[in-house]
């Protein structure tokens, strides 16, 4: 494999270059990156053997032309790579100067696609062959897991993470023999990064993994990355030179915060992160992975986009003791069963009272793994489905969004979202059971159904009619008119009602008004109070006081 360095001050450009063409087909491996000429020159000295340099012309500190001059004049470099320049400019003066400094060819950034890049790279490989250079055997013999094909490497790492894998020692021996940095077995840490459901697609997977790889390399953190399943990545990191846990935490915190920021910026993916303790020894990897995965699962209760350390688990364990675990789940089961007769009552306040009680109890179950609560809500749906079936109605006919209820429970990211969804489902079911809603009359066109579904799931976020119309593929004016026609109210009123209904629930739960404002999408608490009063006739404070009097 020929070794290549990418030098560009735009992280997104560096990221894109990894995926624009099949580098392996050209026997090229991207071994390092730099954000400017100063950093690139230092890396060239450090690596010693770089065959190909893909370098941007316009960069801070030291631009591409200055870097090529430094490479030309250096007497300390073991090897001078073949340069190919990148530029947002097609002005011949830039190109001419780059050619005079040894550039083989250039690529204009506006033409940065496979059709334009592949011929230039093929030309570079041919030049390397004519110069007598063979793909570097160093990569195959001395740089760790690159000596293995990717499936083999991934299989070995998976074995280390598997708690039931009996051949861990054998897998570790293969890794150690290949020179993997994990073989140092000192200050090991597992980090689980979970993306939003649906954001880790075939299209974005490469970008997500490469972003992690780039940041960890920039921070000089020894690591391996394993995609355990769709939406879940495990970073296996070692810190053999560090002696202070606080220093390791500070370093990893900076790296993970950067990863979160870049993924949100590049692919609009919000990620939650669980960080394990430190340990030593290859047998510890499966334990560290389980711990990190459980911590990442805290996002179900505390929201997306956060970092969770072991202190989160300690807090949860404390809550577990105080909640009297067994009694709590017996009470929750009783609440679930009480919903059935309550839904059969014509008085809608009966089921609302039971559900509010169930909701309050669930606050004490926040130490549980999300899978257990999703299973609990699944039982609620099965029992609700039985009641509806007796009325010759399928549960899918009353679902409040386009998602099948059982699928919705799996995909909802947080407990609060799940509670709101089930509340809407129960409300619609009660109306249908008592003849107050004709489910067969409630049908929406595809764009309106998609718009409603998005609002139902994302009403807490900054959304607007222009964004939604673009997403569902219709004009803004069409969406506005059709939304009123099919839903019975305009777009803004529907969004506002979703937010205010959630605000009522949070007020009943005892949340602070300022916190509620932010949680439902209003950054200004005063604006939220005005909207709340306009919709309900009471200020949030007055509404809460009226609840206490009841």
Q: Which helix (H) or strand (E) is 173 found in, with range?
A: helix 168-177
Take residue 436 and report the two structure tokens written for it: 């107050």
- DSSP string over 456-479: HHHTTS---HHHHHHHHTS-HHHH
Predicted local distance difference test score (pLDDT) of residue 175: 73
Any idea what DSSP says for residue 135?
P
Predicted local distance difference test score (pLDDT) of residue 288: 92
Say if residue 153 is in the same domain as residue 61. Answer: no
Predicted local distance difference test score (pLDDT) of residue 320: 47
Structure-model confidence comparison of residues 75 and 458, the more confident one: 458
Say if residue 180 is in the same domain as residue 44. Answer: no
Of 122, 141, 160, the position where a domain reaches its end is: 141
* Mean pLDDT (whole number) for 284-302: 89
Which tens digit of pLDDT belongs to each residue from 475-501?
Answer: 888 888 888 877 777 888 888 989 998
Q: Given CA atoms 83, 88, 93, 94 in this order, what sign does their dihedral have? A: negative
The number of beta carbons lying within 10 Å of the beta carbon of residue 164 is 6
Residue 360: closest CA among 509, 543, 506, 503: 509
Whole-number Cα distances in Å, 107 to 31, 112, 465 = 20, 7, 39
Domain-embedded: residue 453: no
Instruction: Tell me which residue range forms the domain holding 29.
Output: 2-141
Say if residue 19 is in the same domain as residue 6. Answer: yes
Predicted confidence band of residue 135 (pLDDT cuts 50, 70, 90) = low
Q: Is 328 exposed, middle or buried (0-12, 13-18, 19+ CB in 10 A)?
A: middle
Sheet of strand 82-87, all strands in order from the earlier edge strand to the far edge = 28-34, 2-7, 52-56, 82-87, 105-108
Predicted local distance difference test score (pLDDT) of residue 438: 63
Of 318, 349, 379, the position where a domain reaches its end is: 318
* Mean pLDDT (whole number) for 103-131: 82
Residue 117 — left, alpha, or beta (φ > 0 → left; ψ -120 to 50 → alpha)? alpha
Say if residue 347 is in the same domain as residue 420. Answer: yes
Domain-embedded: residue 214: yes
Say if residue 49 is in the same domain as residue 170. Answer: no
* Mean pLDDT (whole number) for 436-450: 69
Q: Are 53 and 7 in contact (CB under 8 A)?
A: yes
Say if residue 163 is in the same domain as residue 303. Answer: yes
Predicted local distance difference test score (pLDDT) of residue 353: 93
* Mean pLDDT (whole number) for 280-303: 88
Structure-model confidence comparison of residues 27 and 400, the more confident one: 27
Which tens digit of pLDDT belongs to each residue from 215-234?
Answer: 888 888 988 898 888 788 99
Q: Cα separation of 278 and 208, whole Å?
A: 25
Q: Are 21 and 114 in contact (CB under 8 A)?
A: yes
Question: What's the CATH code of the domain at 281?
Answer: 3.30.70.270
Say if residue 136 is in the same domain as residue 159. Answer: no
Q: Cα separation of 2 and 29, whole Å?
A: 6
Say if residue 150 is in the same domain as residue 189. Answer: yes
Beta-carbon contacts of residue 28 (< 8 Å; ≥ 6 apart): 1, 2, 3, 4, 51, 52, 121, 125
Q: Cα separation of 67 and 75, whole Å?
A: 14
Which tens digit of pLDDT belongs to each residue from 314-358?
Answer: 554 444 455 467 788 888 889 989 998 899 899 989 999 999 999
Bridge partners, 105 (sequence order):
84
Q: Cα separation of 43 and 163, whole Å?
A: 39
Q: Give the residue ranges of DSSP H helices in 7-162.
A: 11-20, 37-47, 64-73, 92-100, 114-130, 137-142, 150-161
Residue 435 — left, alpha, or beta (φ > 0 → left; ψ -120 to 50 → alpha)? left
For the chain, what is the mean pLDDT? 81
Examine the pLDDT at 150 and tell me if it is beyond 70: no
Say if residue 299 is in the same domain as residue 367. Answer: no
Any idea what DSSP says for residue 183?
G
Residue 28: closest CA among 132, 133, 145: 133
Examine the pLDDT at 287 and tell me if it is beyond 60: yes
pTM of the predicted structure, to 2 decimals: 0.56
Say if residue 295 is in the same domain as residue 169. Answer: yes
Predicted confidence band of residue 5 (pLDDT cuts 50, 70, 90) = very high
Examine the pLDDT at 134 and tell me if it is beyond 80: no
Beta-carbon contacts of residue 187 (< 8 Å; ≥ 6 apart): 238, 239, 240, 242, 248, 278, 280
The number of beta carbons lying within 10 Å of the beta carbon of residue 282 is 18
Say if residue 72 is in the same domain as residue 29. Answer: yes
Which tens digit of pLDDT belongs to each residue from 239-284?
Answer: 988 878 888 988 999 999 988 888 877 767 788 999 999 988 888 8
Domain-embedded: residue 373: yes
- DSSP string over 88-103: S---HHHHHHHHHTT-
Q: What percent of the chain has pLDDT over 70?
A: 88
Helix (H, G, I), strand (E, B), or coil: what is residue 284? Answer: helix
Number of domains the chain is built from:
3
Q: Are 85 and 95 in contact (CB under 8 A)?
A: yes
Predicted local distance difference test score (pLDDT) of residue 144: 36
Q: Are 380 and 336 in contact (CB under 8 A)?
A: yes
Predicted confidence band of residue 89 (pLDDT cuts 50, 70, 90) = low
Say if residue 159 is in the same domain as residue 289. Answer: yes
Q: Cα separation of 455 and 472, whole Å?
A: 12
Take residue 24 and report the two structure tokens written for it: 């392996």
Predicted local distance difference test score (pLDDT) of residue 141: 34
Take residue 334 and report the two structure tokens written for it: 């009783």
Predicted local distance difference test score (pLDDT) of residue 312: 65
The number of beta carbons lying within 10 Å of the beta carbon of residue 460 is 19
Which tens digit of pLDDT belongs to each residue from 60-85?
Answer: 888 888 998 888 887 777 778 889 98
């Amino acid at each position: 494999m020929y070794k290549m360095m990418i030098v560009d001050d735009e992280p997104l450009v560096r990221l894109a270059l990894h995926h624009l063409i099949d580098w392996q087909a050209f026997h090229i491996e991207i071994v390092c990156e730099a954000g400017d000429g100063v950093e690139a020159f230092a890396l060239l000295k450090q690596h010693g053997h770089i065959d190909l340099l893909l370098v941007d012309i316009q960069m801070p500190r030291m631009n591409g032309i200055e870097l090529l001059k430094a490479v030309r004049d250096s007497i300390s470099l073991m090897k001078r790579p073949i340069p190919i320049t990148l530029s947002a400019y097609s002005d011949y003066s830039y190109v001419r100067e780059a050619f005079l400094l040894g550039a083989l060819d250039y690529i204009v950034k506006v033409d940065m696609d496979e059709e334009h890049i592949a011929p230039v790279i093929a030309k570079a490989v041919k030049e390397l062959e004519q110069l007598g250079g063979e793909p570097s055997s160093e990569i195959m013999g001395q740089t760790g897991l690159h000596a293995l094909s990717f499936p083999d490497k991934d299989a070995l790492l998976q074995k280390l993470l598997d708690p039931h894998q009996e051949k861990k020692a054998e897998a570790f021996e293969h890794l150690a023999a290949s020179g993997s940095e994990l073989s140092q077995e000192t200050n090991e840490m597992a980090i689980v990064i979970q993306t939003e459901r649906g954001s880790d697609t075939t299209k974005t997977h490469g970008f997500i993994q490469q972003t992690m790889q780039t940041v960890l390399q920039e921070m000089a953190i020894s690591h391996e990355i394993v995609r355990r399943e769709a939406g879940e990545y495990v970073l296996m990191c070692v810190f053999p030179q560090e002696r202070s846990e606080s220093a390791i935490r500070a370093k990893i915190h900076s790296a993970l915060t950067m990863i979160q920021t870049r993924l949100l910026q590049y692919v609009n993916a919000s990620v939650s992160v669980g960080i394990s303790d430190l340990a030593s020894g290859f047998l510890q990897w499966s334990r560290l992975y389980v711990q990190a995965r459980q911590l990442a699962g805290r996002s179900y209760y505390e929201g997306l986009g956060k970092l969770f350390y072991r202190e989160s688990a300690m807090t949860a364990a404390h809550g577990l003791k105080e909640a009297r675990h067994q009694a709590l789940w017996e009470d929750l089961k009783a609440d679930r069963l009480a919903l059935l007769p309550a839904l059969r009552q014509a008085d809608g306040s009966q089921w609302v009272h039971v559900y509010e009680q169930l909701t309050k109890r669930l606050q004490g179950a926040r130490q549980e793994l999300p899978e257990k609560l999703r299973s609990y809500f699944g039982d609620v749906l099965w029992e609700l489905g039985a009641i509806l079936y007796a009325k010759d109605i399928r549960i899918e006919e009353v679902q409040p969004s386009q998602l099948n209820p059982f699928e919705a429970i799996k995909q909802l990211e947080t407990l609060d979202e799940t509670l709101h969804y089930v509340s809407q489902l129960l409300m619609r079911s009660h109306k249908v059971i008592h003849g107050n809603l004709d489910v067969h009359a409630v049908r929406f066109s595809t764009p309106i159904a998609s718009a409603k579904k998005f609002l139902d799931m994302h009403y807490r976020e900054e959304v607007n009619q222009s964004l939604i119309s673009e997403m569902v593929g219709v004009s803004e004016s069409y969406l506005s008119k059709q939304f009123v026609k099919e839903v019975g109210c305009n777009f803004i009123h529907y969004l506002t009602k979703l937010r205010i209904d959630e605000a009522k629930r949070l007020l009943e739960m005892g949340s602070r008004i300022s916190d509620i404002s932010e949680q439902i999408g209003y950054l200004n608490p005063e604006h939220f109070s005005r909207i709340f009063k306009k919709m309900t006739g009471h200020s949030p404070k007055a509404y809460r006081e009226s609840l206490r009097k009841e």
